[in-house]
Amino acid sequence: MTFIHTLKRFLREEEGATAIEYGLIAALVSVAAIAALEAMGTSLVSIFGVVDSELQNAATSASGTGGTGGTTTTN
């Protein structure tokens, strides 16, 4: 097998190009996912902050009324 024949066969082969294309697609999807999560990150933090505040207010008002904390007692 000559060098020229080996070079021609190497240039015709497409398996490496397909793998590179899949790698580029995976990289592009990863960048898009990271960008989307980054954009949603601040809104998710603010939503969970509101939920945290409301739960703390509810717990404070429930404990301030002399409740039993959700348990019932029998006399």
In eight-state DSSP terms, residue 65 is: T
Instruction: Return d(Cα 25, Cα 62) in angstroms, integer.
Output: 53
Instruction: Please write the tens of the pLDDT for every residue from 2-11.
Output: 888 887 887 7
Q: Is the pLDDT of residue 30 over 60?
A: yes
The answer to whether 11 and 3 have CB atoms below 8 angstroms apart is no
Note the pLDDT of residue 27: 95
* pLDDT band at residue 38 using 50, 70 and 90 as cut-offs: confident
Q: What is the mean pLDDT of residues 60-65?
A: 78
In this prediction, residue 68 carries a pLDDT of 55
- Record the pTM: 0.42
Cβ neighbours of residue 62 closer than 8 Å, sequence gap 6 or more: 69
